Chains A and B, each alone.
Chain A
Amino acid sequence: MAQSASVVAEPVLAVEGLSHRFGERTALDGVSFAIPAGRFTALLGLNGAGKTTLFSLVTRLYNHRAGAIRVFGFDMLRQPTQALARIGVVFQQPTLDPDLTVLQNLRYHGGLHGLARSVIEERAREELARIGLSDRAGERVRTLSGGQRRRVEIARALLHRPSLLLLDEPTVGLDIDLRRQVLEHVHDLCRAQGLAVLWATHLIDEVLPGDGVVVLHRGRVLASGLVEEVCAGSGTLGEAFARLTGGGTR
């Protein structure tokens, strides 16, 4: 009973018929997909596919023109406060202040979400322990490695206990080992905490078996579902992606 209830439950993120234009250029055209709790979903697309525009709309850096974005049923245009409070974001560019300590960066973020100081301290301790950086809390971000900074950014995004974690190409600039570490870390979070994750990437090998995948190409969704469903009949995801994007210019 409980299982069937979770199947019909409201998706954590629902994007419906989303379109956006910059002047004459169509960046997104009728994009629809949904992410349930506990699922890691890769937003797979080449550069220029519209991934960053989609991220900007889902994080409400600017408003969409057509379609709908709902986070736990909260409409991004009409209830942005409730929707944004449930989202944690890791942007593509580094967003930690290098001159401030790890803890000061986390406090800043917690404050922006209106968390009490004591709550921030407690959660910061927890999150830093989870990423194995408890002993670095008082050090300036400048002294951390690229991989450590990324993990601090993920910890920071989780500080206000979001249900949806958005990551925009979070492994850019990381070497293969660090990439795998960050990827595994986020998969673990997904499993352990039931987080819904949307992970934008152009790297096919960042999609693991059992993940969800949304193939975005030239502003349109060409396929979405579990990776096994998207691959059906095409062999590997790489082959499926090539087939979809090669023949996808409708």
Chain B
Amino acid sequence: MSALLYGRCLRSVVVREGLRFVHQRERFFAALVRPLVWLALFAVGFRAVLGLSIIPPYETYILYEEYVVPGLVGMIQLFNGMQSSLSMVYDREMGSMKTLLVSPLPRWYLLVCKLLAGVMVSIVQVYVFIAVAWFWEVQPPPLGYLAVFPALLASGLMLGALGLLLSSFIKQLENFAGVMNFVIFPMFFASSALYPLWRIREGSPGLAWVAELNPFTHAVELIRFALYLRFDATALLAVLAALVVFLGGAIAAYDPGRGFWARRGGPAEQG
């Protein structure tokens, strides 16, 4: 198997995901409206409640809108990652997941292709959102828009890998509500997306500790720092570590020898 074959496979998975995205306009608008509602309604209302001091990467006092934009970018990627888990379940029911998995290329590679395709779609959504946010006077340095790209790639892959791992536990579409309640909401609210860690610590040191362990916090901080042309090494390491764990778990879960498919409800087997 040459690199050419691998490249063709990746291209076709990305093209398909892109086409599906283009065809499902409502999905695109839903993905865009969600963070805009937060920015236009929640952030404006919250501005008066929450006073922010000057914290890195910001060099001056900022409005709450400016603080919350990286968190909302993270939210787009979080939803997208989970939605790709939804689409895996849906795909699995539709059978097109099977079509993907009977490709002769190694299964881990097929899953990585699927993941990258989902991340590409989420990055397009993020750029549309931060372009709209610019008109809300959330205007990071122009180069920040470029610098944030690798951060988005890392955080998108990490959240997508989590979604992929979760998809292996979901048997039916309805269970997505459970993912919302037990994964998306806790990850989002117990993070630095809506309020800085020092603020959380004032309210509850325990919650701040949870937020610091939450990989989503590090995804948001990685994005926040990159957008303002700063580099947060801790956040990057945390995001990459979480990526390795989640992706490793997802690949094991979809492995034809050990994965859930081989057991399908039977008792777990050795090895």
Contacts and interface: CB of A to CB of B under 8 A. Distances in A.
A6 interface: no
Contacts of A80: 104, 256
Given A61-B256, A63-B256, A89 B102 contact: yes
Contacts of A116: 8
Contacts of B264: 22
B103 A113 contact: yes
Nearest to A115: B8
A134 interface: no
A114 B11 CA distance: 10
Contacts of B20: 97, 99-100
A117 to B, nearest CB: 8
A59 B107 CA distance: 13
A34 interface: no
B256 A60 contact: yes
Contacts of B93: 93
Contact of A99 (B23, B103, B104): B23
A191 to B, nearest CB: 25
Contacts of B98: 59, 61, 89, 91, 93, 95
A112 interface: yes
A24 B267 CA distance: 8
Contacts of A94: 94-95
A25 interface: yes
Contact of B16 (A22, A56, A87, A97): A97
Contacts, number: 111
B100 interface: yes
Interface residues of B, number: 39
B102 A84 contact: yes
Interface stretch (A101-109, A169-177, A181-189, A192-200): A101-109
B103 to A, nearest CB: 4
B99 A81 contact: no
Interface string B93-137: 111101111111110001000000000000000000000000000
A102 to B, nearest CB: 13
A94 B91 CA distance: 11
A189 to B, nearest CB: 19
A112 B103 contact: yes
B263 interface: yes
B30 interface: no
B12 A81 contact: no
B94 A22 contact: no
B44 to A, nearest CB: 37
Nearest to B268: A23
Interface of A: 21-25, 56, 59-63, 80-85, 87, 89, 91-97, 99-100, 104, 107-117
